[in-house]
Amino acid sequence: MGKPQIVPLMISLTGDFTDSADSEPFRYYNNTRVYAIYPRYGPKDGGTVVQVWGENFLNYDENLRCNFGTKSVKAVFKSSTYLICKAPFSDNTNKPITFSVSLNKQQQSRDMINYWFYSNPILAKLEPNYGPEDGGNEIILMGSSMHPFVDEPTINNQNDTFCIFSDLNVKTPARFINATKMACIAPASFDGISVTGVDFTLNN
């Protein structure tokens, strides 16, 4: 189609437009494309910040949307090739949801991009829950829903899975063992911090 075009839009009751004195601009734009999103997955409660790369994005404020299946959220325009948005809540877990971008809340991009929601993982126990102040010991995290994509070969979130030592503000890579266990290495303590909360993330 080439460059976006702006044309005058007029309304006529007679059909020959002799009764039309005014017009409003109507803009045609090039088809929106989505090439990649990151991350491609997040918890079903939503809130995951999703980065979107593509082309022909335009800043139409509230009309610029990210669509997760039938749910639509406002996108934040960064450039003609880059957007960000926050994933909504969803009850559809562990199956692909079509992701698309719309500039007018109607027509959507048609690229085959999927997003996955997973059930919220639960951390129940650490073993051991102590270690030397210089770190280095392996900790086993036990719980449930810790590996939601274990039976989905098209999704590998190993590189996005981390243990979070919250009081230290430190993340360390985690290693899946199975759906109820993962392991990570404790970091060294600093600034006199002797106790820290421990959590984990599956999508960085």
pLDDT per position as a tens digit, 142-171: 999 999 998 888 899 999 999 999 999 999
Q: What percent of the chain has pLDDT over 70?
A: 97
What is the per-residue pLDDT across 57-91, written as a single tens digit (0 to 9) for each?
999 999 999 999 999 999 999 999 999 999 999 99
> Which residue has 């996005």 as its token pair?
160
Contact 56, 80 (CB under 8 A): yes
CATH 3.30.2290.10 fits 5-10+25-118, yes or no: no
**Alpha carbons 89 and 68: distance in angstroms, whole number:** 10
Please state whether 183 falls in left (phi above 0), alpha (psi between -120 and 50) or beta. beta
Q: Note the pTM of the prediction, 2 decimals.
A: 0.84
Q: How many CB atoms lie within 10 A of CB 157?
A: 20
What are the CB-based long-range contacts (under 8 Å, 24+) for 186-195?
186/131, 186/135, 186/136, 186/137, 186/138, 186/139, 187/135, 188/133, 188/134, 188/135, 188/136, 189/133, 189/134, 189/135, 193/167, 193/168, 194/133, 195/167
CATH fourth-level superfamily of 122-201: Immunoglobulins (2.60.40.10)
Domain ranges of the chain: 5-10+25-118, 122-201
CATH topology of 5-10+25-118 equal to that of 122-201? yes
- 23-41 burial: b if 16+ Cβ within 10 Å, else e: eeeeeebeebebeebebbb
Q: Tokens at residue 178, please?
A: 């199975």
Q: What is the mean pLDDT of residues 119-132?
A: 94
pLDDT at residue 4 greater than cutoff 70: no
